[in-house]
Structure 1
Amino acid sequence: MPHAHWQKPVQVTFGNLGTEAVSGPSEALAVLADRWPELKGPHFVKARSVCRAALDGRKTPEEARQQFEQAVSEAQMHVN
Structure 2
Amino acid sequence: MYDIKWSSPIEVGFAPGSAQMVQGPSEALNCLANLWPDRRGPLYVAARSVCRAAVAGRRSAEEARELFISATREAHLKTQ
Unpaired runs of 5+ in structure 1?
none
Which structure carries more helix by proportion?
1
The corresponding residue for 2:77 is: 77
Question: Is residue 24–residue 61 contact of structure 2 (8 Å, CA) maintained in 1?
Answer: yes
Aligned counterpart, 2:55? 55
Query: Which structure 1 residue ranges, 4+ long, deviate > 3 Å from structure 2?
Result: none
TM (normalized to structure 2)? 0.95
Per the alignment, do residues 77 and 29 of structure 1 end up closer, same or farther by CA in structure 2, a change over 3 Å counting?
A: same
User: Larger strand proportion, structure 1 or 2?
Assistant: 2
Cα–Cα, structure 1 residues 73 and 20, in superposed 2: closer, same or farther, change >3 Å?
Answer: same
What residue identity is the alignment partner of 1:69?
I
For structure 2, which runs of at least 5 residues remain unmatched after alignment? Answer: none
* Residue of structure 1 equivalent to 2:6: 6
Q: In 1, Cα distance between the equivalents of 2:34 and 2:15?
A: 15
Question: Which residue does 2:20 correspond to in 1?
Answer: 20
SS of the equivalent of 2:30 reads helix
The one-letter amino acid of 1:75's match is A
How far did residue 14 of structure 1 move? 1.4
Deviation of residue 73 (structure 1)? 0.3
Percent identity (aligned): 46
Aligned length: 80
